[in-house]
Structures are given as C-alpha cells and as structure tokens.
Amino acid sequence: MLLLALRTFRDRWPVFVGAIVTVCLGVALVQSSLLTLVSAATAKVPPGLSAAEARATGDGYAAAITLLGMTLGLAFFVAIFVVSSTFAFTVAQRRRDLALLRMTGAGRGQVRTLLVGEALLLGIIGSALGIALGLPVMRLQGTMLTTFELAPPGFTGEWRSWIVYVSAGTGIGVAVLGVLTASRRASRVRPLEALRDLGGAARVMTASRWVIGLIFLAGSIALLILVPAVGGEAALPLSINATFTLVTAFALFAPLVVPVVAAPFGALFRGRLGVLAHANLRNGVRRSASTAAPIMVLVAFVVGMAGMTGTMSEAGRLETVRDLRADLVLDTPGSALDRVVGAPGVTAVSEEAPVSFDIAETGDPDGLEWESTSGIAVDPAAYAVTHRVAPTAGDVADLRGATIALTPSAASGFRVGDLVPVRLAGGPASLRVVALLPDTLVGPAALLPADLMPDGPRRYVVRTSDPAAAGAALAGVGQVSTTAQFIAEANSEQQKISTNIMVALLGMAMVYTVIAMINAVVIAASDRRAEFAAARVTGLTRGQVVAAALAESLAVVAIGVLLGAVSAIGTIFGMASAVRDMVGVGVVTVPWSMIGAVVVLATVVVGLTSVLTSLSATRTPAIRLVAARD
C-alpha cells in the first residue's frame, strides 16, 4: 500500500501539490510564531539602561509575549483548519478510485493504510519545505513587530535546533490527523455505491459531523456568554477563541447552507448558464463547502478583529468624552503649574505626572511576583474637578502620603486598607490602598498622591471661562489642545496601535488563508475535466463553461462571506457586551470598509483563480475526454 501511495503522486499531482503547499505554509507559520514567542520570553534586558528604560524594555517584551501567544494559537488553528479541510476534500474526490480499489480485493484497513501513507508522505515533504520557509517568515515577523513598535528595537527571533522536531511533528501530525476521519468514512462505503455519481453517493452531513458541529456551536455560545462576565484584559482572547469555535461549527454546517444559497442563485442567473451553475452548486455540496472554508476563516478573523478593536477604540473615546470635564489639555516637559494657574480665565487645573512602578501580586506564599504597572500622580481635589471620579470602594480624597487607588486590572486581589508592596523609584516600599476604581479602557490603572509625583513631563487638564485666551497664553508653555482635539488625537493614536496589533496578529495567517483559497479552487477544478467536457458536448462553448464555473465560484464566495460574517458579528457583539459591562458605554462598531475590502479580495482571488483553472481544465478537446471516460 505504501508503494501504491508513492505511485498515486504521479497520477494526481495537482491535488497532492496543493496539499503539500497547505502543510508547508502551516508549518512555516507555526514555526515562525513559536520561535518568535520563545525568543521574546527568553530575551534579557540589556545592561546599562536606566530604570525607566529597563522597565520600558521589559514591558515591551511582555507585550510581545502576549501578542505572540495569541498569534501562535491563531497559527495552530488556521493550519489545522485549512489542512484538515483540504485533506477531507481530496479524499472525497477520490471515492471512485477507492471504490475500484475495494472491488479488486482491498479491505477497509488497506484503504485506510493507503490514505494515511499518502498523508505521511505529504506531511514529511510539506514539513521539510515548511522548516526552510519558516526562517524568512520568522525574520519578517520580527521586523513587523519592531516596525509597529510592538516589541523593543532590535528584537528578532532566534533559531533553535529543537524546532525541527516540533515542526516535523506539527506537519506530519496535522496531515495524518486531517486524513483519519475522511479515510475511515471512505473505507466504509460499499464499492458499487461509491461508483455512482458523487452528488448522490456522498452523504456530506454525517452523524459525526452533526455531533461535532453541535458541540462546537454550544461551546461558542458558552464562550460568548462568558466574554461579558470575565471582562477586562481577558475579553479579547476569549472573543478570539469564540471566533475559533464559531468558524469550526459553521464550517461543519456549511453543506446545509449551500442549498439555501443555491435556491435564490438559480433565480438570479437564468438561462442555460444559470441552470448549470445552480445544478453544480447543489450537486457539489462538499466541493462548495471546502472551497468556502478558507474564505470563512479570512472574513471571520479580519472582520472580527477589526470590529472588536474598533468597538474598543470607539468605547474608549466615548469613555474619555464622558469622564473628562475640561476645556484644554496642556503637555509640558516639566512642572509649570504657576504659569498655567495664571493664564487668563483659568478656573481649575489638574496637574498630572506619569508614574511607572512594579506592584506585587498576592497569593504567592513562596515570594512576591512583580508586575509592571503604570499610573498617574495627582492632587485628588483638583483631579475630581476635571475628571469624573466614581470609586467602587473607598475615597480618592484620601490620596495623601504613601497611598494608592487601584483599578481591578492592577488591584490583584487587594482591598481598601491593605498595604501593597511596590517598587517605586525614590518612593516607599509599600502603599496603602485608599480606593478601588472602576474598570477603564483608556484611563490610568492607578492613581498616586501628589507627594509621589516624580520630576519630568507633566499634563495639565484645564477648565477655563475663556478657552481661546487661555490657549493663546499657554501656547508658549507647551503643547496645548482643546479637549476635542486631545480626544481625537488620542483616539487616532489608539486606532493606529489597534491596526498595528491586528496586522501583526493576523498578517501571516491571512496570507496563508488567501493562498489556501487559491489552492482549494485549483484542487476542485483538477477533478472536473470530464464534467466540463460533458457540458461542452451538450452544446455549451468553452467560454460558457468557464462563465458557469465563475458564477458558481461567486456563489461559493457568498457562502464563505455569509458564514464568516456571522462568526465575526457574534464575536463583535460579545466584545461590545463586555465593554458595556466594564465601563458602562454601549457601542458596536461594524467595520463596513473592512468587510467590503475582504469581499472584494475574496471575489477577485477566487474569481480569477476559477477562470484560470477552468480554462486549463477545458484546454483538451471535449470529445477526447468524454471518449476516455467511456
């Protein structure tokens, strides 16, 4: 059987080349993400830096580790999802060949051995190519992280010899696991039944598909319910996990959607071409579902991430609009309180200074674990005038001396009255908690008293009866802006950061899905030469056959976009619910421009690939293929 597996490479090379490409790219993506993650986790802060620079560098590595952890999870999911769907489709295409093998005396176990042997060979070849490709992908990923300022300057992934074994295990394991279920199903088909037409013989919605699909759908609903409950920093990764499960569930139920889409499709496209495209959609349910799978992944993650980050950015803007009660915001390189107070029409001023420090986490009996935290030092009375302050416990007015007010993200289980161990340059070793603050999207994680205000940059939040005169007077002191300008600039910067994070998180995986889309169309067309020839013999021209295949491909794009959009919208609303519960701001941002861009991309890629592959498949005279089939 293994020798037969080698021989099938020669006869069905387009299908196997496509499978090798999917394994290769999946291995490269996983290897790059894992190496970059390990490099960030083991990176050391360079000696000779100041305390502030060392803390900033450490924070940069910590942020990179968090991002790369999500990237690695996404890479694994995309690789397993695409490779599994590709192998399942290629096995389904070969039902006739496997049936003939059964008729010649091969048992079910031998059929499974053949398919697993092919997957093993594909996994070995794809893993070898993926290991080599992973090196430039890793360098590109490191460059992207530093360019977007998501990792410290000079950061790059480092090669580690053990990655060869991990990558080989990933490629071979994914290939073999991807073919196991399909091989079991193929081996159970009776030879004579499998020799019938594929549309009637192949029952796509099997019992196992129903059960697994319902399990993933139930898991998705549970995760979406949990997102608002956990809130905070856990909401984003939990929403991404919900996208994973939703995409998987909808991919399993995709064959049910194909006939639904096909019904109105037949009414929209009339004539012989419309009838042919409609019939191909209904009969090629598995083919349509498999081709739609990478489109679904592309739409779900790009639109979902854009919607989630956009929702958070807009909620952060609305939170600032709600909480900031001032007319002007002034940034200066040092203290300038007297000059600000003396400006024309100034009625209230809050002086604020950024403070970076380490805070101990509770619950560790063997020693303290420190987490880097940022806050601002303020005069509580002035701060309460220019900002909305609504502590959930305690009183911010008690911020005097060695005290602190914390949000849940920084509190780590501390309560009002507790002493918090801190590492603060030039400050005390512990601070007493006087207030607990509500969750925030854009506000400080902690408030410290003016007694702990360090030297350095200042921000002055100003209320004035004459903003124009005060602004003109303060223009020479530092960078002054109106509240509206300040909020707009801060929101623009946040959107830039969110976009950079989205590109860094999804960039490589989305390139992979686009290539997988091309590969799926090529694999589907490689098995349709006889079908196209039969259509031409009935009177259709080559151009009409290509047009019908194009129309069918556009319907498949619609299926992928529909299911992917439903997945994305579910996660966006889950994130919006978490944001509403966390900061009390209800907003949902639907990224219409991103949806349009993804739809155009999928349409162009799938449409162009469909035309090219259809032209290639119809290059041989139709009568020759029909005669060969008979």
Indicate if the pLDDT at residue 470 is higher than 80: yes
Given this model, what pLDDT does residue 545 score? 85
Choose the most confident range, by mean pLDDT, from 11-15, 25-29, 228-232: 25-29
Given this model, what pLDDT does residue 11 score? 62
Candidate from 119-128, 238-247, 277-286 with smallest mean pLDDT: 277-286
The domain segmentation of the chain, as residue ranges, is 1-202, 211-327+486-630, 334-477
Count of C-beta atoms within a 10 Å radius of residue 127: 27
Amino acid (1-letter code) at residue 195: L
Given this model, what pLDDT does residue 601 score? 93
pLDDT band at 198, cuts 50/70/90?
very low
Tokens linked to 239 = 């929403």
pLDDT band at 226, cuts 50/70/90?
confident
Indicate if the pLDDT at residue 37 is higher than 50: yes
Which SS3 state, helix, strand or coil, does residue 455 take? coil
pTM to 2 decimals? 0.82
Q: What average pLDDT does this structure show over 583-598?
A: 88
Given this model, what pLDDT does residue 408 score? 85
Q: What average pLDDT does this structure show over 67-96?
A: 78
Choose the most confident range, by mean pLDDT, from 75-84, 370-379, 394-403: 394-403
> Where is pLDDT greater, at 195 or 22?
22
pLDDT band at 186, cuts 50/70/90?
low
Given this model, what pLDDT does residue 495 score? 85
Q: State the burial class of residue 30 (Cβ atoms within 10 Å of its Cβ: 0-12, 13-18, 19+).
A: buried
Given this model, what pLDDT does residue 187 score? 66
Task: Give percent of the chain above pLDDT 70.
Answer: 88
Tell me the sheet residues that pair with 359: 371, 422
pLDDT band at 232, cuts 50/70/90?
low
Candidate from 28-37, 256-265, 394-403, 488-497 with smallest mean pLDDT: 256-265
> Where is pLDDT greater, at 465 or 80?
465
Given this model, what pLDDT does residue 432 score? 94
> Where is pLDDT greater, at 255 or 233?
255
Count of C-beta atoms within a 10 Å radius of residue 22: 29
> Where is pLDDT greater, at 88 or 561?
561
Q: What average pLDDT does this structure show over 601-627?
A: 82
Q: Which residues of 467-478 are buried (b: 16+ CB within 10 A; e: fewer)?
A: beebbebbeebb
- How does pLDDT run across 596-612, given as a tens digit for each residue? 999 999 999 999 999 99
Candidate from 94-98, 289-293, 600-604 with smallest mean pLDDT: 94-98
Indicate if the pLDDT at residue 142 is higher than 90: no
Indicate if the pLDDT at residue 507 is higher than 80: yes
Indicate if the pLDDT at residue 199 is higher than 60: no
Candidate from 13-27, 124-138, 238-252 with smallest mean pLDDT: 13-27
pLDDT band at 175, cuts 50/70/90?
confident
Q: Which residues of 563-579 are buried (b: 16+ CB within 10 A; e: fewer)?
A: bbbbbbbbbbbbbbbbb
Q: What average pLDDT does this structure show over 309-337?
A: 92
Indicate if the pLDDT at residue 481 is higher than 90: yes
Give the single-character DSSP code of 387: B
Q: State the burial class of residue 445 (Cβ atoms within 10 Å of its Cβ: 0-12, 13-18, 19+).
A: middle
Tokens linked to 509 = 């995986």
Given this model, what pLDDT does residue 483 score? 94
Indicate if the pLDDT at residue 13 is higher than 70: no
- How does pLDDT run across 159-170, given as a tens digit for each residue? 999 999 999 998
Strands (E), 284-345: 328-332
CA 55 to each of CA 2, 65, 340, 442, 527: distance values in angstroms, whole numbers, following the listed order: 57, 15, 31, 21, 58
Count of C-beta atoms within a 10 Å radius of residue 368: 12
- Average per-residue pLDDT for the chain: 83
Indicate if the pLDDT at residue 201 is higher than 50: no
* Angle of the 51-93 helix axis to the 483-526 helix axis, nearest 10: 30
- How does pLDDT run across 552-565, given as a tens digit for each residue? 888 889 889 998 99
> Where is pLDDT greater, at 537 or 38?
38
> Where is pLDDT greater, at 526 or 200?
526
